[in-house]
Amino acid sequence: MDAGSLAEISNGVFNQYPINSNFLDEVISKEGAASPHYTEVLKQFSSFRAEDFKELNEQAKLSFF
């Protein structure tokens, strides 16, 4: 699968994703394109709404207590 920009493969969940050229990001390039081997993972994450991530985060927190 070809890499695409975050805008092309996400539903807006990654709109606030910080791109920092001072650090290596194996998922997103400095130009904002998804690495080919992470494109499908990003698409899967993009199927979630922000509320879904909040709920998953809360469940993860509770599992450590």
Domain boundary assignment for the chain: 6-63
Phi, psi of 28 (to 5 degrees): -125, 130
Band the pLDDT of 60: cuts 50, 70, 90: very high
Phi, psi of 27 (to 5 degrees): -95, -45
Q: What is the pTM of this model?
A: 0.59
- DSSP characters over 15-30: TT----TTS--SSB-T
User: How confident is the model at residue 4, as a pLDDT?
Assistant: 66
Q: Using alpha carbons only, give the angle 8, 9, 14 rounded to the nearest 5 degrees.
A: 100
